Chain A
Amino acid sequence: MSFLHPTEGEYVQHHLTYLQLNLHTMKLGNGGFWTLNIDTLITSVVVGALFLFFFWYVARRATSGVPGRLQNLVEAIFSFVQSMVKEAFHGKNELLVPLSLTIFMWIFLMNFMDLIPVDLIPNVLYIFGVIDFRPVPTDDLNVTAAIALGVFCLIIYYNIKVKGWHLATEILSKPFGWWLLPLNVLFRCLEEVVKPISLALRLYGNMFAGELIFILIALLPWWIQWTLGGIWSLFHILIITLQAFIFMMLTIVYMSMAHESHD
């Protein structure tokens, strides 16, 4: 429990409140749809910039000779992503590998914010007058939905680009044949819509639950926190990596489905 928030309810509430900007009044507070979650935006952009800077720094001095430690690390991540794409995707696409890499690294780093002690960033910012701050961007549905929506748009785009008119026949006649045309269309729509929703909710749900458990652990007496906290932290290292990997892998699979006909 924090010295700033004496009761359990207030403490949990504090950790579940975004730092929001109401775009109607341009003041802090919730303004319905026209609200910016400043904390989410800042953290995700900072983390994304870190990712870009680190990789750009390595890419700028990449050598085909003996690679240094940093280049080794980056190349290991590269070949990991590349092998994943090669395994699941058999078409030709210049975008997919960088896309998968970005998704994996960005989500991983945003998830990683969850491993920073729950009170550290909010309390430090509180000293500077920021009342609420949620430091884990993937703990905000807006982020996960944004990435999922991006992937969804790409799926639609490549479906049309690769299949052309064949896409129409595919939607109308698969999987039940021409006689059940309406059912085919309904099924296809469902199938496509479920993809981004499941992507977004899976990541959000995992990270929200993870963060919530850290908050609850923080409510325990200080001398017992390390037991559950330690176990959950170890477990969470696995979860954040796994969730980033799953998001990337599903993106690759969906993109592969967009490139290949069902027949």
Chain B
Amino acid sequence: MNINVTLFGELITFAVLVLVTMKYIWPPIMKAMAEREKKIVDGLEAAERGEKSLVLAEKKAKKQLQIAKGEASDIVGQANLRSAQVVEAAKDKAQQEAKKIHELAKSDIATESEKAKQQLKADVANLVVAATEKLIATNIDVATNKELIDKFIAEV
């Protein structure tokens, strides 16, 4: 064991090392580490906040979806009602129209048949006269015969 002046040399070296470490090495690394720690803490907080807002948004979306579903079913119901009404109205209208046409046709048929009857009456009279003329030849008084025939036809 020999203690000598080296001791003081080493003492100075030690002091310099400690001072340099304290002044130039410790602070920047400490700062970086503290900053990173803060960043991580902030990040975690932000993540938590994000998660919370996500849950909230999901709830909101669900609620809105439910409202929309209700509205949609309302709308469908109304539409169904309306369409039924429309169909009912159209049915009524069609029935009325059909009735109208029916009536019209009925009256048409009546007039036509009357007309035909008249025509037929005339035609029959002429035909009978012609036929009788041919049957009984000439000596029969045309006027008398016509009178007889007309009488007959009117009775028909």
Smallest Cβ distance from B19 to chain A, in angstroms?
9
Q: Mark A80-111, 1 if CB is under 8 A from B, else 0.
A: 00000000000000110111011000100000
Contacting residues, chain A, for B14 (C-beta < 8 A): 102, 106, 146-147, 150
Count class of interface residues, chain B = 20 to 34
Q: Does B148 contact A (CB under 8 A)?
A: no
Q: Does B131 contact A (CB under 8 A)?
A: no
Residue on B nearest A151 in the bound complex, by CB: B14
Beyond A36-B5, A37-B6, A142-B4, whether A64 also contacts B18 by CB under 8 A is no
Give the interface of B toward A (CB within 8 A).
1-11, 13-18, 20-22, 24-36, 39
Beyond A51-B17, A59-B29, A62-B29, whether A34 also contacts B7 by CB under 8 A is no
Sample of 19 A–B contacts (CB below 8 Å): A33-B4, A36-B6, A36-B9, A41-B9, A41-B10, A41-B13, A48-B17, A59-B24, A64-B31, A64-B35, A79-B33, A99-B18, A102-B21, A140-B6, A142-B6, A143-B10, A146-B9, A147-B10, A150-B18
CB distance A23 to B11 under 8 Å?
A: no
Q: Does A130 contact B (CB under 8 A)?
A: no
Contacting residues, chain B, for A67 (C-beta < 8 A): 32, 36
Task: Identify whether the interface residues of B are mostly helix, strand, loop, or mixed.
Answer: helix
Nearest 9 interchain pairs by C-beta: A64-B35, A146-B10, A62-B32, A98-B22, A142-B6, A59-B28, A37-B6, A35-B4, A146-B11
CB distance B17 to A64 under 8 Å?
A: no
Smallest Cβ distance from B111 to chain A, in angstroms?
105
Q: Mark A97-138, 1 if CB is under 8 A from B, else 0.
A: 111011000100000000000000000000000000000010
